Amino acid sequence: MKRVIALLGTLVVLAALVGPSAAAPAPNTSAQSSLNWLRSQQQPDGGFAGLGSSSDAGTTASAAIAIAAAGVDPSLVLNDGHAVTDFLAASTSSYGASTGGAANLALAAYASGLNPHSLGGVDLIARIQSAYNASTGLYDPQLYVDAYAVLALEAARATVPPAALDALANAQAADGGWSYTGSKEKGQSDTNTTAVVIEALVAGGRTNSPVESAARSYLHTAQTADGSFVYQVGAENPPVGDANSTALVVQALVALGQDPNSATWGHAVDALRHFENADGAFRYRDDTPGDNLLATVQAIPALMLEPLPIAPQTAFGHATVEQRAMQPEKARPGCTYFAVVGHNLCAGFQAYWNQFGGLATYGYPLTEEFHGCDPQGWCGTMQYFERAIFEWHPGIA
């Protein structure tokens, strides 16, 4: 293809037909609307907000896992040029300092096709391993966190001592469940901890045992008449299920080789879908009908029938700068936004596009502005259009 280069002050316009974007794999339609809503909640720094308005590393790690479970590379989900994985990499020193934080980030890195041994320059797996207490067999006294640590190590194919799996199995209460604190007292078991412990034991190869059978029995007692699951058996009368607990149990059932939408399990996936609002977001419970981000990020992997750890697709984690720039963005202040392609046209490129032909001459933008390199080896700010490539060459008159 012929490339025509014209020096226009400090702007270089390369006349060319730019090929189609290298799009991420299409997600399964069962979670598409939820994924679309989730993407609309991304902050300009690439993260997702927790309980407050600012981005939170734990929530963002869970969002990355959900996005990957839906078949989309988290490194190609951007806002203002910042990807989900960029925010995670910047969070390793602070959030990743705790065992739970390191485990959550490691699982998100693994699902995103990144190396949990070197995320943001930090070896998250080594951090988890350093927390192991040989006398208790636990990485953390809180069993939910401990199970996440085991899942992260299994995902990274790191050695998990048999005693660590024994400790999880031995923490099972008489009712067949596990509690967040590790207490075996009556009424302390909860479905959320039970679900992630089951996934950890399955990932560690502990299946088809009396422990598994008792766990299934406990989960049956935690299911309501409508098919949803409660957080804790006996906590409310009548029992009220919630989206988070239902989603986590669905994942655990898949890990156990069960069909969560069978009659045996009360059509639990259909029960989970009941919590989906019209915009694709999930509510926590029917008595709290507002959109809930955490409920949504936990529901998506369950809808996809993907238990932890989420395995990445082959192409994940290898996006080029061009591929990142081709991903749709939100409108930016002071720019012309083309909703039909999801891209902005800003600053000098915007002024030149408007002055010298606009849409008829150059077509729609196919990327955001990005720092890239051309075939001749020049590197700098550029933007692709349907019929041109704009390059910014400072100092060239």
Bridge partners for 370 per DSSP: 382
Q: Residue 192: enclosing H or E segment and its boundaries?
A: helix 191-203
**Whose structure tokens read 């951090």?**
127
For residue 188 the two structure tokens come to 């302390």
The rounded distance, in Å, linking the Cα atoms of 168 and 83 is: 35
Q: What is the pLDDT of residues 205-240, one digit of tens each?
A: 998 889 999 999 999 999 999 999 999 999 999 999
- Residue 206 has phi, psi (to 5 degrees) of -90, 90
Q: What is the pLDDT of residues 288-324, one digit of tens each?
A: 999 999 999 999 999 999 999 999 999 999 888 999 9
- Residue 276 has phi, psi (to 5 degrees) of -80, 130
The rounded distance, in Å, linking the Cα atoms of 1 and 110 is: 39
**Percentage of the chain exceeding pLDDT 70:** 92
pLDDT classification of 376: cutoffs 50, 70, 90? confident
pLDDT classification of 267: cutoffs 50, 70, 90? very high
The pLDDT, as a whole number, for residue 255 is 98
Q: In the predicted model, what is the mean pLDDT of residues 258-282?
A: 97
Buried/exposed code over 254-266 (b: 16+ C-beta within 10 A; e: otherwise):
bbbebebbeeebb
Q: Say if residue 5's pLDDT is above 50.
A: no
Q: In the predicted model, what is the mean pLDDT of residues 93-122?
A: 97
Bridge partners for 288 per DSSP: 285
**Which has the closest alpha carbon to 250: 225, 271, 274?**
271
Q: What is the pLDDT of the chain when averaged over all its residues? A: 92
Contacts of 314 (CB under 8 A, 6+ apart): none
The pLDDT, as a whole number, for residue 374 is 84
pLDDT classification of 7: cutoffs 50, 70, 90? very low
The pLDDT, as a whole number, for residue 3 is 36
The pLDDT, as a whole number, for residue 396 is 74
**Which has the closest alpha carbon to 268: 300, 224, 309?**
224
Buried/exposed code over 225-243 (b: 16+ C-beta within 10 A; e: otherwise):
ebbbbbbbbeeeeebebbb
Work out whether the CA dihedral 80, 81, 83, 86 comes out positive or negative.
Answer: negative
The rounded distance, in Å, linking the Cα atoms of 198 and 147 is: 8
The rounded distance, in Å, linking the Cα atoms of 234 and 175 is: 12
The rounded distance, in Å, linking the Cα atoms of 169 and 100 is: 19
Buried/exposed code over 161-174 (b: 16+ C-beta within 10 A; e: otherwise):
eeebbebbbebbbe
The pLDDT, as a whole number, for residue 8 is 41
Count the residues in the chain.
Answer: 397
CA atoms within 13 A on the CB side of 132: 19
The rounded distance, in Å, linking the Cα atoms of 302 and 299 is: 5
The pLDDT, as a whole number, for residue 11 is 62
Q: Say if residue 391's pLDDT is above 90.
A: yes
Q: What is the pLDDT of residues 126-168, one digit of tens each?
A: 999 999 999 999 999 999 999 999 999 999 999 999 999 999 9
The pLDDT, as a whole number, for residue 52 is 87
Taking the whole predicted model, whether its pTM rises above 0.75 is answered as: yes
Q: In the predicted model, what is the mean pLDDT of residues 343-370?
A: 95
Q: In the predicted model, what is the mean pLDDT of residues 250-274?
A: 97
**Which has the closest alpha carbon to 105: 161, 69, 146, 65?**
65
What is 278-295 written as a DSSP string?
TTS-B-SBTTB-S-BHHH
pLDDT classification of 281: cutoffs 50, 70, 90? very high
pLDDT classification of 10: cutoffs 50, 70, 90? low
Q: What is the pLDDT of residues 342-353, one digit of tens each?
A: 999 999 999 999
User: 34-48, 191-205, 236-250, 382-396: lowest mean pLDDT where?
Assistant: 382-396
Kind of pairing, strands 379-384 and 336-338? Answer: unpaired
The pLDDT, as a whole number, for residue 227 is 98
Measured between alpha carbons, how far apart are the two ends of the chain, in Å?
A: 27
Q: What angle do CA 234, 255, 56 make, to 5 degrees?
A: 75
